[in-house]
Each structure stands twice: as C-alpha cells, then as structure tokens.
C-alpha cells in the first residue's frame, strides 16, 4: 500500500502546486538507460537496471523559498555465485522504490546561475527476491542537506546539478518477519543534467545520477545515464 500511496500523493502535490496561480513551477520524468549497482556482497555480479524511472518537480513558493519532491521506481537484476560441489548461480531480483521531499532557499539568482540550499527527507525501500521467494526487505531513511544549481547556457540550453548528503539516518532489515534496525553510516546522492528546450515550456534532457549509502557491511552505489522530459508551467 505504501508503494501506491506515496507516488500518488507526490504527483497530486506537484500537480496542485504547478497549476496554482503562482509561476515558476516545473515537473519532469527521467528514465535510467543503463544503470548499475556496485555492492559489497561477495561473489555478486551486477547487471543492468530494468525500467528505472523517476517523476518529480519543483514549485517556487516565493523568490527565495521552494518545495520539491521526487519518486523513483525500478528493478535491478544480479547474479550471486556460491560454491557447493562446484559453482552455482542464483538470479537475484531487487525491486527499488525511493522518494524524497525537500525545501529550498535561494542564495544566488541572476541571469546565468540560480543556486538553492536545501534540506529534506529521503526514503529508500528495497525488496530482494530469488527463485520467486522473498529473501529480505531493506528500508533506508535519512534527513539530508543539499544544494541545487541551474546554469543558463543559452536561451534554450541549461545545465542542472544537485546533491543530497544524509546527516541522520537508519536502515531497517526485515527477514522472515524479524526486524533489525541500525544506524545508516552515510548517504550521498547527486545528479547532473543537460537540458534543451524545444519550446518555452517543453524540454528534453540527458543526464547522470548516482545514489550511494554505507552501512556496516560496506558501501553500495547505484548509478547510470538518464534521459527525460521537463515541462515548465
């Protein structure tokens, strides 16, 4: 139910804000073309993401304050090798959903650059399955600080960049209805994008995004090239 309710609420929030009387709102849709995950799990081979997409947007409350949100969903397929009278391989399917909500405060705003400082909440849910059986569920959540920048190159071309750094988080693991919670050692997300506007409102983009977290077992990073569209209201 949580996977359904969260994206619906975010989409409704973005639509309501974007269609209000205030200007400078935008909404975007990104698709990860060839994402990969680096994991500390021994003997694990990482394959490409499948159907990894993101929807999000930003609404300018005033000249200084803004609110943003994003929801992502996708799958990761990996191969685990284990040794038992020879080499055996198991296909691991990882279903991933994330969302974040943040507020921003503008510190630079001129014709060439807009820079916002931000703070918000990030949530990452991962469900691992093998041979049509659930293995475990992982949930990562954290409060973060960050920044978002928009560079105006020409009338039709912009470059965007942003990052989020977790300052207080935890990870919850659920295996066979048994839950264990531990501190999240670190969280760091960033993305960059090259945007070309076909009209004053509609643009296409090519970018790169990365998300990494670290727990006691080590650091896990998922990243890849993205393509997408942006619409400004």
Is pLDDT above 50 for 18? no
pLDDT of amino acid 183:
86
Half-sphere exposure of 214 (CA within 13 A, CB side): 9
The rounded Cα 53 to chain-centroid distance in angstroms is 9
Task: Summarize pLDDT for 123-147 with one digit per residue, the tens.
Answer: 999 887 766 556 778 899 999 999 9
Task: Summarize pLDDT for 41-97 with one digit per residue, the tens.
Answer: 554 555 445 568 999 999 988 889 999 999 999 877 666 555 555 555 556 677 889
Domain chopping of the chain, boundaries: 34-48+74-98+105-232
Classify domain 34-48+74-98+105-232 at the CATH topology level.
Lipocalin (2.40.128)
5: helix, coil or strand? helix
Of 195, 191, 208, whose CA–CA distance to 34 is shortest?
Answer: 208
Say which residue the tokens 């409350």 belong to.
61
Average pLDDT score over residue span 159-171: 93
**By the 8 A CB rule, do 46 and 35 touch?**
no
């Amino acid at each position: 139910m949580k996977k359904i309710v969260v994206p619906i609420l975010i989409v409704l929030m973005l639509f309501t804000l974007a269609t209000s009387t205030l200007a400078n709102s935008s909404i975007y849709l990104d698709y990860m073309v060839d994402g990969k995950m680096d994991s500390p799990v021994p003997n694990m081979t990482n394959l490409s993401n499948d159907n990894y997409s993101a929807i999000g947007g930003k609404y300018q409350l005033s000249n200084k304050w803004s609110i943003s949100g994003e929801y992502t969903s996708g799958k990761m397929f990996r191969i685990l090798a284990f040794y038992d009278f020879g080499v055996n391989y198991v296909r691991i399917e990882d279903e991933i959903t994330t969302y974040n909500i943040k507020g921003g405060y503008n510190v630079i705003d001129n014709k060439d650059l807009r820079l916002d400082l931000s703070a918000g909440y990030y949530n990452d849910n991962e469900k691992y399955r093998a041979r049509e059986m659930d293995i475990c569920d992982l949930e990562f959540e954290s409060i973060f600080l960050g920044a978002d920048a928009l560079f105006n190159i020409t009338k039709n071309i912009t470059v965007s960049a942003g990052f989020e750094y977790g300052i207080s988080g935890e990870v919850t693991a659920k295996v066979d209805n048994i839950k264990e919670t531990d501190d999240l050692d670190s969280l760091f997300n960033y993305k960059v994008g090259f945007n070309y506007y076909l009209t004053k409102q509609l643009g296409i983009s090519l970018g790169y995004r990365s998300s990494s977290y670290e727990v006691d077992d080590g650091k896990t990073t998922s990243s890849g090239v993205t393509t997408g569209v942006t619409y400004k209201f």
